[in-house]
Amino acid sequence: MNLWESVLVALEGLAANKLRSALTMLGVIIGVFAVIAMLAIAEGTRVQMMSSIQSMGTDVVMIFSGGGRRGGGGGPARGGFGSTQSLTLDDAYAIADDCPSVLAVAPEAGANAQVKYRSQNTNTQVLGTTADYPGVRNYKVASGKFFSNSDVRSSSRVAVIGYDTATELFAQLTPVGKDIRINGSRFRVIGVLAQKGSQGGFGNPDDQILIPVTTAMNRLFGLENVRMISARATASDTLTQAQEEITRLLRKRHRLASGAEDDFRIMTQTEFMSFANEAATIFSVLLGGVAALSLLVGGIGIMNIMLVSVTERTREIGIRMALGARRRDILLQFLVESVVLSLAGGGIGVLLGLLLVAWTGAFAAETLGSTPVVSTVSIVLSFSFSAAVGIIFGVYPALKAARLDPIDALRYE
């Protein structure tokens, strides 16, 4: 018996028990479906993160507090971002004034706060920065205007709000010119940012309020340090030079001894993308691993049903052997049945996964902040894995059938 004849016999056997075959495939269908959906979510998150980082531009560096080594009983240890508050507003001004390769600088300081307009209220991020923020971070003002350097110097109570924040507080009203209260303090809305879209793990730029950094630090939150400083280089090819200039300046300003670790950390777009790729890979492995467990459960279901099938068809196996069927023919027949079950289930699972991703794309974008993306790799991987499951879990039942004694099989009732 050749392979094609074995496939035909397997299909006839499966067709004779349609309901049982369908229920057997269900585990594989759910497993492949889950793999497709989970990997699509992970890939969509990765694409969104990459897009968010690239939207900052290739000539932007970000300076974070922390990153130095702190002594301890077990030796020095590197502190994480924000583990020490080392950056000040004067550091930002000094970078703008004394680093020739830096075009513009935008410090950031703030916290979450309760914001009210009449009966409407929301809790959102209130970020203090300077007039250069839109140019450094690629923001645009949809209506009104951004605050000026004069507003920063005078610690004015003015605010520019994100698109989502404006919608939540004002609905269909025009926000510009209205007064809002941030932690009980009154601010005049002078502008609304253009919609930018959620940035996945990097937050939602449409759900925030920007105010002058001096107002945030001195009049609203009582802060002494800024949490980070964004700086735009004069050009992409001066980015490395800008990093070096900033490093030298901050080490000098922070009076760090020669050989001492930096008490700040500078990151470029390349480093952010590397970090995001690593995080996305871990996320994909975790989600894929969870989904793959469903495939393993489906494989166990296939093996269980195939063992039952061998028992039910023992007399048929004995008759086929008596008519000249070889052990390898019996082995191939049951192994092909197992593989056909898993491949059929895999194909249906892939189709359902693609339909689900296409159907729920808009909903996922709204709830997860990213649109699921199905890659060819995930389809091939899940389909191949389903075939492997059919082979692996079909081997034992097939061997059991092939090893039956013909005489005992003919006597079986």
| CB-based contact 326:386 (threshold 8 Å) | no
Residue among 157, 137, 139 nearest 212 (CA): 157
Return the higher-pLDDT residue of 17 and 151: 151
Task: Classify residue 131 by its DSSP letter.
Answer: T
Distance of CA 51 to the CA centre of its chain: 12
- The answer, yes or no, to whether residue 71 has pLDDT greater than 50, is no
Q: Spell 222-252 as b/e; 16+ CB within 10 A means b.
A: ebebbbbbbbbbbeeebbebbbebbeebbbe
What amino acid occupies position 77? Answer: A
With residues binned 3-state (H G I as helix, E B as strand, rest as coil), the percentages for the chain, rounded to 5, are 55, 20, 25
Q: Read off the pLDDT of residues 225-262 as tens digits, 9 standing for 90 and up.
A: 999 999 999 988 888 899 999 999 999 999 999 889 99
Is the Cβ–Cβ distance between 160 and 141 less than 8 Å? yes
Note the pLDDT of residue 93. 95
What Rg do the C-alpha atoms of the chain give, in angstroms?
32
- Number of helices and strands in the chain (H, E): 13, 12
Task: Give strand pairing partners of 125.
Answer: 112, 208
SS3 229: strand
73-82, 140-149, 153-162, 279-288: least confident range: 73-82
Give tens-digit pLDDT for 334-361.
888 888 888 888 888 888 888 888 777 6
Rounded-to-integer distance, Cα 13 and Cα 291, Å: 30
Band the pLDDT of 412: cuts 50, 70, 90: low
For residue 321, the surrounding DSSP H or E stretch is helix 314-322
DSSP-derived secondary structure for 134-183: HHHHT--EEEE-PPPHHHHHTT--EEEE-HHHHHHHHTTS--TT-EEEET
Which pLDDT value is given to residue 250?
Answer: 94
**Contact yes or no for 109/223 (Cβ under 8 A):** yes
pLDDT higher than 60, residue 88: yes
pLDDT value, residue 413: 58
Q: Is the pLDDT of residue 68 over 50?
A: no
How much is the mean pLDDT over the chain? Answer: 82
From the list 20, 22, 9, 5, the residue with the least C-alpha distance to 309 is 20
Q: Is the pLDDT of residue 304 over 70?
A: yes
Tell me the one-letter amino acid at 346: G
- The residue that leads in pLDDT, 319 or 13, is 319
Digit-coded pLDDT (tens) for 350-405: 888 888 887 776 665 555 556 777 878 778 877 887 888 878 888 888 888 888 87
Local confidence band at 73 (pLDDT 50, 70, 90 cut-offs):
very low
Statement: residue 81 has pLDDT above 60? no
- Judge whether residue 299 has pLDDT over 50: yes
Q: How confident is the model at residue 296 (pLDDT cuts 50, 70, 90)?
A: confident
Could you give phi then psi for residue 343, rounded to 5 degrees? -70, -40
Per DSSP, the three-state class of 223 is coil
HSE-up of residue 161 (Cα within 13 Å, Cβ side): 29
Are 69 and 77 in contact by the 8 Å Cβ rule? The answer is yes
Residues 30-42 have a mean pLDDT of 81
Which range is least confidently modeled, 61-70, 71-80, 86-95, 349-358? 71-80
